[in-house]
Chain A
Amino acid sequence: MTALLEIKDLHVHFDVYGGTLRVLDGVNFVVQSGQRVGLVGETGCGKTTTMKSILRILPTPPARIPQGEIYFKGQDVLKMKKGDLQRIRSEGISMIFQDPTAALNPVFTIGQQLEAVVRHSMEGGKLSKGKIREQALVPLREVSLPDPERMLDSYPIQLSGGMRQRICIAMALVASRELLIADEPGTSLDVTIEDQILRLLRRLVEEKNVSVILITHTLGVVRETTDRVYVMYAGNMVEVADTEELFANPLHPYTHGLMAAVPRLTGGGISDGIPGRIPDYLNPPPGCRFHPRCERAMDICREEKPAFYQVNTDHEVACFLYRDGQK
């Protein structure tokens, strides 16, 4: 079976004044059809860059992809012609951004923006105005917005943050997409609203059988929403496992650190977290990029970049500690 999405050895560089930022350094990432995949990591670790390169919406220049392949349903997105790429964007993959206020255009009504999406999806091109409006109402109903008719004539500013995010989800659902990328969909919202948005996403994913990539830095959200988790650090995937397995048996020192840093409802204080901060991408440390912050760094970590070692079925970790299987 071919995967729905497969990223192989992706490198992304940014040419800036003073040098080249080597942001992504050989990312491998797989989404199977129907799977819900989580991607976690600190701010600036390259989560969003990875996702943007899938849709090819990174600004080039300064961004540059010197190496790597991104297969969506067996076709390399990076080698695609404009027309094919446009079709993938309008029918294959859609993305929900962190801040719905910035994602919606403030000077157009929700209806105008939603209808534009309908028109650009394939069947939409041949529909009459009335039909397009009708089509635009369907996803609005699906995301349980009150009074969808009136919603079409409102401007984004008239809606609350939670409602705006529902609109963005509705847009992503127009046409039957196969892959939904949700980039921190609840982070800018309140806890109770975030909870509602995530429950909505879970319901829609089940009903429509779409695959999801959920990007977040909240581990709890990943645990409750996904089947499989990738942990990312400074442009590298460092650990991947099924969600249950990862939370029961985290292996990479970075994953350990992240988990220990989360305040627990059971109380008992918080650990100090991980010392240091994400490296400078102009001069990333040689070897494993995590070694300057790692408590268990060995000599080899400073020289060589670790490969992915299979520790368990479906549990892989990029750390020399696990060279010979389970420690």
Chain B
Amino acid sequence: MNRDDILTATDLKKYFVIGHSDLLKRNPITVKAVDGVSFAVREGETLGLVGESGSGKSTVAYTTIGMYRPSAGAIRFRGRDLFEGNKPRSLALKKEIQIVFQDPGSSLNPRRTIKQILELPLRIHRRNEDRMEQVIRLLEMVELPPDYAYKYPQMLGGGEKQMIAIARALATDPAFIILDEPTSALDVSIQGKIINLLMQLQDEFNLSYLFITHDLSLMRNVASRVAIMYLGKICEVARTAEFFRQPYHPYTQMLLSAIPVISEEEETLKPKRIVSTGEIPSPVNVPGGCSFHLRCPARMEVCSRVDPVMVEVEEGHTVRCHLYEQGIGVQGQ
């Protein structure tokens, strides 16, 4: 493990039992929502986790925050296992890892004022401070006027509500924040403001982000590194600039070629040869071998039999694909 890593996941797995195929309940049907994911987030960086719906990116987030226990594998925060023994997570650890959800309309209690919403984490984690002062300071941090403390969530616009959700995450003074599609429920005209505020807060408080999204153009502008997820597995990881200069995995190329862009200059950055086909299969029935092989334009015979392993193709750029296993890089992990 690297010393600047703040959070690492090693071979993380999360399976859900959704039913049984027989009456005696001997054969459970499981969904492999996350199936062997490893990644590391460095101190002060933004790791972008990108994938289509059903790829398991939110399950990674919810496991990290502690809503689920992993089925196998480990998540470490500054070297400490988050799921050591069977104990509930300590307050000190909860304080450090916070989350901002996608839809602020449903993550804020409509019957509480903004003040009450922001006070709750303060009451639990920072008992000895003046609360009203803290609430105003939090509102200031997200650039909202102090009189918002006495408003209710439904009195605010979508962007402002998300600002409150961010302020709530900041209330415990965390080191690590999971952003689960923080702007995908909002208009583009509001998105910029929120993203720029998040970036500014990151600089100011040296925060580390796990930024979950399906929007690759957004990732290009905010992430230090990008990880692409497909059906519970990570298929490519690279530093953002390199990733967009040379995407290796056929799925990544497919994703990139599908992005609608607004200028000719961007058009030239999209891989031209690949067009998107097929749909993400149900995670209950994951195809054997490489889970992407049914949609893959570069499919080989081996792909339906053997699941590929992560290979480093360039320094810091790893791909899980048979195309790159021989000759090009060294075997990773």
A interface with B by C-beta (< 8 Å): 42-43, 160, 162-163, 190-196, 199, 217-221, 223-224, 247, 257-275, 277
B277: A residues at CB distance < 8 A:
196
**Which of A195, A223, A263, A274 has the most B CB atoms < 10 Å from its CB?**
A263
B interface with A by C-beta (< 8 Å): 52-53, 157, 159, 187-193, 195-196, 214-218, 220-222, 240-241, 244, 254-255, 257-263, 265-266, 269-270, 275-277, 279-280
B217: A residues at CB distance < 8 A:
262-265
- Cα A321 to Cα B295 with chains together (Å): 51
- Cα A220 to Cα B265 with chains together (Å): 13
Q: Is the CB of B259 within 8 A of A262?
A: no
Q: Is the CB of B189 within 8 A of A273?
A: yes
Q: Is the CB of B157 within 8 A of A265?
A: no
A268: B residues at CB distance < 8 A:
221
- Contact with A218, one of B195, B260, B280 (Cβ below 8 angstroms): B260
- Cα A275 to Cα B197 with chains together (Å): 13
Q: Is the CB of A257 within 8 A of B260?
A: no
21 residue pairs from A and B, CB less than 8 Å apart: A190-B52, A190-B280, A191-B52, A191-B255, A191-B276, A192-B52, A219-B188, A219-B262, A220-B260, A223-B260, A259-B262, A262-B217, A265-B217, A265-B244, A266-B269, A268-B221, A270-B195, A271-B192, A272-B196, A275-B193, A277-B190
B220: A residues at CB distance < 8 A:
263-267
- Contact with A261, one of B188, B240, B270 (Cβ below 8 angstroms): B188
A191-B255, A247-B263 known; A269+B188 contact, CB < 8 A: no
Q: Is the CB of B190 within 8 A of A273?
A: yes
In whole Å, how far is B200's beta carbon from the nearest beta carbon of chain A? Answer: 11
- Cα A267 to Cα B221 with chains together (Å): 5
Identity of the chain B residue whose Cβ is nearest the Cβ of A265 in the assembled complex: B266
A259: B residues at CB distance < 8 A:
262
- Contact with B157, one of A163, A258, A260, A277 (Cβ below 8 angstroms): A277
- Cα A100 to Cα B146 with chains together (Å): 42
A262-B262, A263-B220, A265-B269 known; A191+B279 contact, CB < 8 A: no
Q: Is the CB of B280 within 8 A of A258?
A: no
Identity of the chain A residue whose Cβ is nearest the Cβ of B266 in the assembled complex: A265
- Contact with B218, one of A193, A196, A263 (Cβ below 8 angstroms): A263
- Contact with A277, one of B159, B254, B260, B280 (Cβ below 8 angstroms): B159
A218-B260, A220-B259 known; A264+B279 contact, CB < 8 A: no
A192: B residues at CB distance < 8 A:
52, 254-255, 258, 276, 279
Known pairs A192-B258, A263-B220, A270-B222 / 8 extra A-B pairs, C-beta < 8 Å:
A42-B189, A196-B276, A261-B188, A264-B266, A265-B261, A266-B263, A272-B196, A273-B190
Q: Is the CB of B258 within 8 A of A270?
A: no
Q: Is the CB of B266 within 8 A of A266?
A: yes
Q: Is the CB of B189 within 8 A of A267?
A: no
Q: Is the CB of B261 within 8 A of A223?
A: yes
Q: Is the CB of B187 within 8 A of A42?
A: yes
Identity of the chain B residue whose Cβ is nearest the Cβ of A198 in the assembled complex: B260
- Cα A282 to Cα B11 with chains together (Å): 55
A42-B187, A192-B52 known; A261+B192 contact, CB < 8 A: yes
